[in-house]
Structure 1
């Protein structure tokens, strides 16, 4: 009688354990079905129903003492929940709730998976969560919900601190919000990580630091870094030239450009910038001359002479810049203005003709 009883107890325990394992098996089978059923060819509500049913199969497995420590129960839970987080672009709260379920499942499951048997599933779930968050950020951006988009992009960079493209996306979104400190922070991070188009990011960061943040010290430091990295960029060179001139330090600007030209006299940007150091002084004098009383002819002539001198000094540099780079419209524009000022009709008409041809 005891023997029969023990046999019955043993059989009952085995059946019970297998029953719990079957919950995990159900989850595995459900995932196989879900992968084919969630290929984007069926309506969203049907897709979500399939995935939510899959999550329910794991509810039983993780709730039972016999199977709650099985890594598979958690890995498939992570797969189902992460896929819901990815596909549900309508109900953001539901997507975020399932993101949390998946994250918890990954954490719990990896701790249990000492042999690494479920490593691939956890990695897939994690990647799906990353894609879900990116998708959520882009959807929010396209809906012009820039505040939410920035939060999501920042969340991505916090989880993936080497992701340069997302730092750029965060910076672009912050700019839409006119949150310039946040924009500069994210663009600078992308630059530090050697983003492929750091030259454009430097342009944005430098200009914003000067214009919107009104931080001349930080802007100057960034400008120096930009020029060190992109010494031939005419935008940076021109900006530094402007900065020196505004600071009343034309000599410093010309000293810098003289060294650059000595190193590479075939560089059109250097020639153009040197021309600017003279031309912009002439423009400043023109403003001063316009304020002179018409009766004060002597002062008017004195200023005009100085102005003409600066224009004459700028002229050969602009001509050289155009000679080196026939597509440099800015050089032609300034040459046209100079020839008009000097009443040089022949060169004015020739330059105007070149400009008109470029604009066609």
Structure 2
């Protein structure tokens, strides 16, 4: 009787072990079916199929006989990661399944010593990255920018060379007014030789000067931009503006004089040199507005200084038009100057030339 009972126990134990291994086989079968047809299924059917497969792996890893089978953890990572990316309804469930997938991947890698399942493990890792990115994009579209920023920075950890994620993080950081962080992310994009470097330098300079109001750092950013784009008129112009604001006109004119000497046939350089005088005139105009109308002598002195500065700017604007008769910035500025001087003939001539230029 005892011998018969022992035989029954042995057979029963083997049957139970095989049953647990069949959970792995069922999980594998269900994954293959899902991989073949699941993408085209309706949301509810996909979620049901994925959860059913995950239940098989729950049972497999709960048993001593199958808990160390690499495939039990591999398919667990696949099902859990697929749920994480598929479940766009419950962020909490998506995150919970992502955690399960991450833990399963660690276990699968440790057990899969022969790398037999490396492709499936890689698929699970890609699923996780896509799940994270999906949550970030949903947060961004719903204008939950702090969450989106956090997600995009998680994506950077997955791939530190992904310029798109640094760019996403920079844009989102700017939206939450975290300008230092936005600048840091944009600089990283530039360091990775992005074709958008010129536009990103412009963003960095604008945030530094306009939002952080840091002229010293702003000038440093302009100089960094000019190393990469030495002939960019906007960056040169911004550098000129900073020097003018600091009262260091000589420094600005020295820099522009070198550029003109190097390439005298660039209209933009002459235009910018004219600006070193004209912008001083505009600043003088602002100061003149503050003068009491009764102080005629002071008012007239300011007007005379304005006129002197404007007259000093004219040869440079005219030179730029000799080089390029359709250089709009110079035409626009001369139009303002001739209006100030009440020079109707030249004003009408410049206006006519501007009107003849097709709008972009």
Does the alignment reach a TM-score above 0.5?
yes
The separation in 2 between residues aligned to 1:155 and 1:297, in whole angstroms, is: 65
In the TM superposition, what is the alpha-carbon distance from 1:331 to its structure 2 partner? 2.2
Residue range with higher mean Cα deviation, 127-136 or 335-344: 335-344
The separation in 2 between residues aligned to 1:348 and 1:114, in whole angstroms, is: 82
Aligned partner of 1:154 in structure 2 is 153
Aligned partner of 1:340 in structure 2 is 339
The separation in 2 between residues aligned to 1:293 and 1:143, in whole angstroms, is: 53
Aligned partner of 2:122 in structure 1 is 123
Provide closer, same or farther for how the CA distance between residues 70 and 296 of structure 1 changes in structure 2, counting only shifts above 3 A: same
The separation in 2 between residues aligned to 1:327 and 1:133, in whole angstroms, is: 51
Aligned partner of 1:31 in structure 2 is 31
Provide closer, same or farther for how the CA distance between residues 322 and 148 of structure 1 changes in structure 2, counting only shifts above 3 A: farther
1:41-56 matched pairs, under 5 angstroms: 41-56=40-55
Residue range with higher mean Cα deviation, 321-330 or 96-105: 321-330
Aligned partner of 1:88 in structure 2 is 87
Aligned partner of 1:171 in structure 2 is 170
Provide closer, same or farther for how the CA distance between residues 19 and 328 of structure 1 changes in structure 2, counting only shifts above 3 A: farther
1:271-310 matched pairs, under 5 angstroms: 271-292=270-291, 299-310=298-309
In the TM superposition, what is the alpha-carbon distance from 1:136 to its structure 2 partner? 1.0
In the TM superposition, what is the alpha-carbon distance from 1:2 to its structure 2 partner? 12
In the TM superposition, what is the alpha-carbon distance from 1:185 to its structure 2 partner? 2.3
Provide closer, same or farther for how the CA distance between residues 296 and 177 of structure 1 changes in structure 2, counting only shifts above 3 A: closer
Q: Is the 8 A contact 1:24 1:73 kept in 2?
A: yes
The separation in 2 between residues aligned to 1:327 and 1:259, in whole angstroms, is: 24
Aligned partner of 2:204 in structure 1 is 205
In the TM superposition, what is the alpha-carbon distance from 1:147 to its structure 2 partner? 1.7
In the TM superposition, what is the alpha-carbon distance from 1:359 to its structure 2 partner? 6.6
Provide closer, same or farther for how the CA distance between residues 295 and 58 of structure 1 changes in structure 2, counting only shifts above 3 A: closer
1:1-360 matched pairs, under 5 angstroms: 15-39=15-39, 41-292=40-291, 299-324=298-323, 328-358=327-357, 360=359
Root mean square deviation, CA, Å:
2.6
Corresponding residue SS for 2:254: helix
Query: What are the ranges of 5 or more consecutive residues in structure 1 without an aligned counterpart?
Result: none
In the TM superposition, what is the alpha-carbon distance from 1:161 to its structure 2 partner? 1.9
Provide closer, same or farther for how the CA distance between residues 325 and 142 of structure 1 changes in structure 2, counting only shifts above 3 A: farther
Query: What are the ranges of 5 or more consecutive residues in structure 2 without an aligned counterpart?
Result: none
In the TM superposition, what is the alpha-carbon distance from 1:171 to its structure 2 partner? 1.5
In the TM superposition, what is the alpha-carbon distance from 1:324 to its structure 2 partner? 4.6
Provide closer, same or farther for how the CA distance between residues 335 and 56 of structure 1 changes in structure 2, counting only shifts above 3 A: same
Residue range with higher mean Cα deviation, 1-10 or 58-67: 1-10
How many corresponding residue pairs? 359
The separation in 1 between residues aligned to 2:293 and 2:22, in whole angstroms, is: 100
In the TM superposition, what is the alpha-carbon distance from 1:180 to its structure 2 partner? 1.9
User: What do residues 6-31 of structure 1 show as CA deviations (whole Å, max 9, x unaligned)?
Assistant: 98887666545433322211111100
In the TM superposition, what is the alpha-carbon distance from 1:134 to its structure 2 partner? 1.0
Provide closer, same or farther for how the CA distance between residues 82 and 325 of structure 1 changes in structure 2, counting only shifts above 3 A: farther
The separation in 2 between residues aligned to 1:64 and 1:322, in whole angstroms, is: 85
